[in-house]
Amino acid sequence: MAINKKAVTEVAKLLGIRLSQVRAALGDDNHIKLVQAATTIEELGELYHVHTHYRHLDARPGKLAGQRLNLLVLAKLKKASSIRRVRELYSAAPQHSKSGWQASRKLNTLILFELEKAATVQRIRELHYAAGIIPHSKARQLAFRKWLGLCTTIQQLGGMVEAALERKETQRVLRYLNSLILAELKKAATIQQVSELFKAATDGSEAKQRAKEKLNSLILAELKKASSIAQAINLHHAAPYGSKSKWLAFRKWLSLCTTVEQLASLHVRFSSGGAAERMVISKMYKLCCAAAASAG
């Protein structure tokens, strides 16, 4: 029975899928003819992936599409000379195919060649990303080492953590980041400097703990000198969550509130229950009692 092309087109449109997916699901007898008629990597790739996805279908069209796709990718590889083009061909090659293997080798070689000339963090990052498509790539490992060698700031290392493609890469960057933050902590003398280092350090690291200790110490020293609500607020915001300095900064803030309006503003920040809210309400109650007594 012939497939209704208009109906196939309508189904594809309504479901937002490819025409070949609809034909494959319906068991189109002309699928082998479609493979034979396909002339581009895109067409063959679509037919190949449809039959890879729908395992219950006749395997012959998918096998034929894979064979033709493999030959076409091999032919295109001979002319391809840019990293971008070879990467595209590697992505298009059938799984476990000769063309995929050759594309990975050529891509690896091109990236290694470019790495020898690369001198900026941005360029090496691009090459690292390009090599990331190849499992256990020598080019990716070399790009990572060269990139790490050029990183001298915490900000640059933070970018490496985000771009790391493997767990080993992430762990290596974090170790370097930890040592760099520890070195910077020795020189940091202000709350702002230490606060930035605290935020940059990863949870559970020695650098995070040391930064927290130093930040607490600096804030506690400043709290003794604080004489305005604005100063207390800034110190409260700078203090690490759940720390002693965070709690003491709140108490300093509370102690500096002398009007109902100031306490109402403070209550907005601490209205979710707990000891802080109870202390704000208690102080406001005492002020209201004093005001009522004066009026009486």
pLDDT of residue 31: 67
Rounded distance, CA 107 to CA 90, Å?
8
For the chain, what is the mean pLDDT? 87
Whether residue 23 has pLDDT greater than 80 = no
Residues 139-149 have a mean pLDDT of 89
pLDDT at 55 over 60: no
pLDDT score of 155: 84
Lowest-pLDDT range, 67-71, 168-172, 194-198, 205-209?
Answer: 168-172
* Reported confidence tier of residue 45, pLDDT bands at 50, 70, 90: confident
Residue with tokens 């001298």: 152
**Whole-number pLDDT of residue 121:** 87
Instruction: Tell me the three state secondary structure of residue 190.
Output: coil
- Cβ neighbors of 27 (< 8 A, separation 6 or more) are 57, 58
Share of the chain above pLDDT 90, in %: 53
pLDDT of residue 32: 72
CB 111 within 8 A of CB 139: yes
Identify the residue whose tokens are 């895109």.
42
Q: What is d(CA 85, CA 282) in angstroms, rounded to the nearest whole number? A: 70
Q: What is the pLDDT of residue 1?
A: 47
Is residue 30's pLDDT more than 70? no
Residue 58 confidence (pLDDT)? 56
CA distance 11 to 206: 58
Under the banding of pLDDT at 50, 70 and 90, the label for residue 118 is very high
With CA atoms as reference, report the closest residue to 25 among 8, 40, 6: 8
Cα-based distances in Å from 128 to 56, 108, 112, 262, 269:
39, 11, 10, 54, 45
Cα separation, 57 vs 125, in Å, equals 42
179 token code pair: 């040592």
Q: Is the pLDDT of residue 181 over 90?
A: yes
